[in-house]
Structure 1
Amino acid sequence: MSDRHRTEAPDRATPPEDSPTRGRLVAIDAARGLALIGLTAIHFLPASDEETHEPTWSWILFAGDSAALFALLAGVGLAFGSGGRTRRQGQSMTAARVGVAVRALLIAAVGMSIGYLMPKDPPAVNILVYYGVFFLLTIPFLHLRPVTLVMCAMLFGVVAPVLMQILRGRLPEFTAYNPTFNDVVTVPGATAAQLLLTGTYPALPYMTYLLTGLALGRLNLRNVQVQTLLVVVGAGLAAFAYLSSYVLLYVAEGYHQLLPSVPEQSEEVVDEILVWGTDEGLPTSTGWWLAVTTPHANMPLAIAWSLGIGLAVLGTFLLLARTIGPWLLPLSAMGAMTLTLYSVQLVLLSFELHYDQPEIWFLAYLLLAALFAVGWQRAFGQGPLERLVSMAAKGAGRAVVGDGTRPALH
């Protein structure tokens, strides 16, 4: 399975400048910067070794988990932008909802515009259009308490994958890996199905990450016990998902139940799907596919694995930022403007120049991205696209509800 159709992508829901502490922002931005490195590796580096055909280190480390981490952190950012630990109320919350809606539409518009540059067989699947849907779906949940948000996240993590398997054969197939404005107008049903359930980053299962991040953003992330708990719970959740999948597939013999659902009942085909997944989605003839942890499978245990990794990464960076925050500057600067850097990366990938020398392109992009991010942040603050989106979102909120939109203090 080629890595040409594998991509994770960012967005940064910028919190109010006076809400979280600087150390907390550094940690979250640094975690997002690491995710950017991960998606860059998936974009530019080979997914498999040319001689052994085994997965490369970049695929093993980053496939699927980068997108989950970005979604988790986007949820944290949405929590900050809607009051943090003290949820906004009344008109202030209305302004926050309007701002999220405007942010979602602008991010989706950027993604659909870039879609016109991508060839039919693209080097990357653009997640920005999906992110717009993520944010729109999150709006009704902004007022909920952390416990309720976690319960909703668990519900999405179980029910959405089941719906994917039940409805996949009944929903229209998408017509383009990277939807554009034309697709929204000409094939709205297929585009909606793709963005919600059948695409590479379906919004309904991804709500697990968004809502979990939203719950985390309502907690005291400055507390070292909370930070440590994130690492412990995250590692435990990832281990539970992996071991559960192993037991179900290889001890309970679920693996053999997968064979009739693939061509020629081939173990080789099943093994390839378990490692690489498939662009067409998992087979739907047996429920045992719900037990896999394949990257981008979006099955319950796959979601639990990626969520666990994301929680552990976030907790680790929160702990690191307490002592070595300034040393995280290259990562945090890139993480502070992932919308800009990711959009530029997609435009660059659309020229398909990187295939002959992937390692050089990978290193060159990361070096230039880090230098640009640090320089721009010190000179101007927010990234170019981040500033435009933030200004539009805040302006829309003020226009709808007037002046009562000052963020709540943490």
Structure 2
Amino acid sequence: MIALDAARGLAVIGMIAVNTGPRGDNELLELLYRVPYGRASLLFVLLGGIGISLMTRRSRVQHAPLPWISLLWRCALLLLGGLALQELTHDVSVILQIYALLILFSLPLLRASGRILLLTAAASTLIGPLIWIAVQSQTDGDFDRDPVSASDPLWGIFTDIVLTGPYPLIVWAAPFVLGIWLGRIALTDAKVSTRMIIWGAVAAIGARVASLLLLATFVEPTSDLAWQRLFSSVAHSQMPLWLIGGTGSAVFVLGVCLKIRTWSHPVASPLIHLGQLALTAYVGHLLILAFIVRPGPDTLLEGVLASAATVAALTAFTWLWRQRFTRGPLEVLLRAPKLSRRAR
């Protein structure tokens, strides 16, 4: 569990760096700074799937009833909270909405076999991008992938989250369902973490190399509707090779975290606490961006300083909070009300 918290803390730090910016420059230093782009969010979602798997383990192993109220409460809270947070001027596509619907989507899979989970993840990886392109072609590429906010019409919110938003469920189900599968295996086994490191690296590097070779052979795509787009590994392209490579890097990072046996060292505790209060930290960085950082940063140095200051502030807060409380201020809200739990 501590290794999972550490990986979640790294995912939060990566998302803070990506969301703070700056974006768009192709200089080497900025490219290195933006390595988490398209990877940190996949790690966050993969860990979310593992968390749901562990949360419902008793229901699967002991055939106990699923914690329906707790799951639906969490889904509703994340959806409404994400929609509200999207209204702020932080210039970030909030990920909480898709996380909420992924929980809802996964409910029929929580007791499914491992084989069904892997087939579902594979279908999302290979078929999801095809559906995404098909929807684009049917609308002449008219949908703009804008973030999903509370001001959107109800039907628009649903279609944006499932099909056309920045995190379409048809594609992002892949890392989440893979996470559910990973949550069922012996993550503490040294052989398992070794395989995760090896296969994660193979997927990350192999997908990138395959993309370069395919694009060199069939030329770069000219638009979102071009079939060559399927060969792209560009971050957030929603294409299979990006999904495979990014998820592979997430599995690699998690495998490395599972290999480390010294997370209990006091030096590591700030990262652990950041991961344990990931929801609080994620929302906190959106508030910092909206009310302090924006409209900047304009340069790489400003971005690094802003990101470092945000990480430092949130790490200090989560560390101090954990000295006194077990759960974070927002993590407490994820628990269904006691009255509802008694009724269940």
State the TM-score, normalizing by the size of structure 2. Answer: 0.90
Q: Does 1:75 align with 2:49?
A: yes
Change (3 A) 1:137 1:397: farther
What residue number does 2:297 align with?
355
Change (3 A) 1:49 1:298: closer
Q: Cα offset for 1:27?
A: 0.5
Q: Cα offset for 1:48?
A: 4.2
Q: Does 1:110 align with 2:81?
A: yes
Q: Cα offset for 1:303?
A: 0.5
What residue number does 1:247 align with?
213
Distance 2:339 2:203 in 1: 40
Distance 2:286 2:227 in 1: 36
Deviations 1:34-78 (A, max 9, x none): 11111111122323448x59853222x111101100000000000
Kindly provide the amino acid, as one letter, of the partner of residue 229 in structure 2. Answer: W
Q: Does 1:58 align with 2:3?
A: no
Distance 1:222 1:373 in 2: 26
Structure 1 residues 187-202: aligned runs within 5 Å:
187-202=153-168
Q: Cα offset for 1:84?
A: 6.5
What residue number does 2:276 align with?
336
Kindly provide the amino acid, as one letter, of the partner of residue 180 in structure 1. Answer: S
Kindly provide the amino acid, as one letter, of the partner of residue 399 in structure 1. Answer: A
Deviations 1:152-173 (A, max 9, x none): 1111111110000011243596
Q: Cα offset for 1:89?
A: 1.9
* SS class of match (1:380): coil
Q: Cα offset for 1:395?
A: 5.9
Deviates more, 1:109-118 or 1:365-374: 109-118
Change (3 A) 1:318 1:325: farther
Q: Does 1:379 align with 2:324?
A: yes
Kindly provide the amino acid, as one letter, of the partner of residue 301 in structure 1. Answer: L
Distance 1:88 1:154 in 2: 28
Q: Cα offset for 1:180?
A: 3.1
Contact 2:20 2:303 in 1 (8 A): yes
Contact 2:297 2:303 in 1 (8 A): yes
Structure 1 residues 8-407: aligned runs within 5 Å:
25-49=1-25, 52=27, 55-59=30-34, 61-83=35-57, 87-91=61-65, 93=66, 95=67, 97-118=68-89, 123-170=91-138, 177-183=146-152, 187-250=153-216, 253-255=217-219, 258=221, 261-262=222-223, 283-284=224-225, 286-320=226-260, 322-326=261-265, 327-351=267-291, 352=294, 354-355=296-297, 357-392=302-337, 396-400=340-344
* SS class of match (2:148): coil
Distance 2:311 2:29 in 1: 25
State the TM-score, normalizing by the size of structure 1. Answer: 0.76
Contact 1:107 1:131 in 2 (8 A): yes
Deviates more, 1:349-358 or 1:360-369: 349-358
Distance 2:169 2:123 in 1: 14
Contact 2:60 2:111 in 1 (8 A): no
Deviations 1:201-249 (A, max 9, x none): 1111111001100001011111111111111111111122112212211
Deviates more, 1:109-118 or 1:196-205: 109-118
Change (3 A) 1:246 1:84: farther
Change (3 A) 1:165 1:72: same
Deviations 1:67-97 (A, max 9, x none): 1000000000001100179535242x2x2x3
Unpaired segments of 5 or more residues in structure 2?
A: none
Contact 1:130 1:202 in 2 (8 A): yes
* SS class of match (2:8): helix
Change (3 A) 1:243 1:358: closer
Q: Cα offset for 1:399?
A: 2.5
Q: Which runs of 4+ in 1 moved over 6 A?
A: none
Change (3 A) 1:395 1:167: farther
Contact 1:48 1:54 in 2 (8 A): no
Contact 2:211 2:231 in 1 (8 A): yes
Contact 2:9 2:272 in 1 (8 A): yes
RMSD (CA atoms): 2.3
